[in-house]
Amino acid sequence: MSLSHLAQSIATSPTMALNEQARLLRERGEAVIHLGIGEPKNKAPINAILSGAARLSSGDVKYSPADGIPSLKKAIIRYTEDNYGVTVAPENVIVTSGAKQSVFNILYTILNPQDEVIVLAPYWVSYPEIVKMVFGTPAIVTPEDGSFIPRMADVERAIGRNTKAIIVNSPNNPSGVVYPEELIAAIVETCERKGIYLIMDDIYHKLVFDGRHAPPCYQFTDKDVEDSRLIVVNGVAKLYGMTGFRVGWTIAPRRLVEIMTNVQSQMTSCVSVLLQAAAEGALTGMQSLVESLRLTIQNNRDVTLQELKAFDGVRVTPPEGTFYCLPDFRAYNGDSVALAKFLLDRALVVTVPGKEFGIEGHLRLSYAGTVKDVTEGIARIRWALDPNSPNEIYIGDRRMVRDWV
């Protein structure tokens, strides 16, 4: 079969693949615990449901403008004002099919073939693949001190003649760290000085713990959005636990949004009006649920850290946001792909290998599920790896005996 070399070189989304694997195992009646998942368990906010349902029952389900329905864009402008203190025009906003499509569309819009995009490791798995899909080249910057915070000197060193953009995701998937103010300030300053785009993926910006605040890029410029190189991506997926609604957006200079809109008009035409209506309902409805979701996840984070403490060899950087952490399992196995497979086979726990995020020897654990998932999942991992743990455990109603360590 003759297929595109480029398309064939694109890796499958490991998290989507793991979701499918977990679903199949569950279907077979296996007591799988999914610590790989990137979505909270809450039901969609009632205002989102009512607003989407009202649109559906009106029967008026047609194309919308390619850049989004005006009333949703208005809600996004309001959100930008309330959360960032920044006023933008409707021409600075485009609604996309999830934040993921925003990232794709932005990169498609700004890159020429072989242009480079700096991606900071550990990174969200999709960034390098999307860069490649639009004929760009990812330039990965990895912290050498074993931390999850890149050093500005390394970022500067990675900038070359072909560098077009830097992607920053803080709070960070997969590590849960929030980049310090000085780093965001230095990145904004460098991007402006060198004429490089800064793509801030703010999808987790409200999901931060212990009274912290994720420094927004706007804080470090006196230019307004129109004259800046700042592009901010957001969406309803993590904010309201509305992952399946597939609504995200981008805030950027008008010319960029104009081209993104042309691209989108040829690609998807627009996001479904039903889902746009639902997103608008979420954004204009009661916001207290964002805080209660945040508190639930913060509690899960605390439980996760508590449970991980029981491991002698596992080192963990306490997450300051998101619903992920990225413990270092090298004391048990340096090969994260083999380790994740082992844990799935022996303990029926889904984890995501750090290798997928550009950081070998670690596993990404999600605490977006229930406290029970977290405690039982980590207890099973400990049973499978740690010789100091009891060598018997119940998995579902099966008594399992460890005979390998």
Note the residues at the interface with ligand PMP (CB under 6 A). 38, 98-100, 124, 169, 173, 201, 203, 235, 237, 243, 248
**Cβ(213)–Cβ(181) below 8 Å:** no
* CB atoms inside a 10 Å sphere around CB 394: 12
Cα separation of 271 and 93, whole Å? 14
Taking the complex as a whole, the smallest distance from the CB of residue 169 to ligand PMP amounts, in Å, to 5
Q: Which is nearer to ligand PMP, 285 or 321 (by Cβ)?
A: 321
* Residue placing its CB nearer to ligand PMP in the complex, 19 or 299: 19
Quote the least distance from Cβ 105 to ligand PMP, whole Å.
12
Distance (Å, whole) CA 310 – CA 319: 17
Q: Which is nearer to ligand PMP, 80 or 169 (CB)?
A: 169
**Separation CA 402–CA 297 (nearest Å):** 32
Shortest Å, Cβ 120 to ligand PMP: 12
300 vs 313: CA distance, rounded Å: 22
Nearer to ligand PMP, 130 or 340 (CB): 130
Distance CA(359)–CA(175), nearest Å, equals 10
Rama region for 85: left / alpha / beta (φ>0; ψ in -120 to 50; rest): left
* Smallest distance from ligand PMP to CB 197, Å: 16
Q: Rounded to the nearest whole angstrom, what is the least distance from the CB of residue 174 to ligand PMP in the complex?
A: 8
Give the sheet arrangement for strand 352-353, strand by strand: 324-325, 363-366, 352-353
Give the nearest distance from C-beta 202 to ligand PMP in angstroms: 9
Token pair of 311 as six digits: 């491991």
**H helix or E strand, kind and range, residue 17:** helix 14-27
Q: Please, what is the minimum distance in Å from the beta carbon of residue 116 to ligand PMP?
A: 20
Rounded to a whole number of angstroms, the minimum distance from the CB of residue 252 to ligand PMP is: 16
H helix intervals, 245-370: 254-267, 273-284, 288-309, 336-347
Tell me the two tokens of residue 35.
Answer: 């610590």
Q: How far apart are CA 281 and CA 86, in angstroms?
A: 22
d(Cα 264, Cα 271) in Å, to the nearest integer? 9
Question: Which position has the token pair 């229930």?
Answer: 370
CB 251 → ligand PMP: shortest distance, Å?
Answer: 15
Q: How far is the CB of 180 from ligand PMP (least distance, A)?
A: 18
- Distances in Å between the alpha carbon of 393 and those of 346, 365, 371? 11, 21, 18
Q: By C-beta, is 122 or 361 nearer to ligand PMP?
A: 122
Nearer to ligand PMP, 218 or 323 (CB): 323
Closer residue to ligand PMP (CB): 45 or 380: 45
**Amino acid at site 118:** I
Q: What are the φ and ψ backbone dihedral angles of 163, each rounded to 5 degrees?
A: -70, 125
Using an 8 Å Cβ cutoff, are 322 and 207 in contact?
yes
Residue number with CB closer to ligand PMP (325 or 385): 325
Q: Nearest to ligand PMP by Cβ — which residue?
A: 98
Kindly tell me which of 38 and 348 has the beta carbon lying closer to ligand PMP. Answer: 38
Q: Between 19 and 142, whose beta carbon lies closer to ligand PMP? A: 19
